[in-house]
């Protein structure tokens, strides 16, 4: 099942795939670390899968 991600969730995933920490992501997107954690919990999959999803969504959406 493919889950449609919000623009913000995609931004968080993109930054995760680039290796940023939750704190760095929060600072970059001007959101709280807790919000980053919420976005991450919505997609509880390993980082290498995040990278694949980000690549897919950036190329095909």
Give the distance, in angstroms, between the CA of residue 57 and the centroid of all CA atoms in the same chain: 11
DSSP letter string, the chain: -PPPPPHHHHHHHHHHHTT--HHHHHHHHT--HHHHHHHHHHS-S-HHHHHHHHHHHHHH-
- Residues 19-45: pLDDT tens digits? 899 999 999 999 999 999 998 887 756
Q: What is the pTM of this model?
A: 0.68
For residues 20 and 52, give the distance between their C-alpha atoms in angstroms, rounded to a whole number: 16
Per-residue pLDDT averaged across 42-53, rounded?
63
């Amino acid at each position: 099942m493919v889950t449609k991600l919000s623009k913000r969730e995609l931004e968080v995933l993109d930054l995760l795939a680039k290796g940023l920490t939750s704190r760095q992501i929060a600072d970059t997107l001007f959101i709280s670390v807790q919000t980053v954690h919420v976005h991450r919990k919505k997609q509880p999959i390993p980082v290498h899968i995040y990278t694949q999803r980000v690549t897919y969504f950036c190329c095909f959406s």
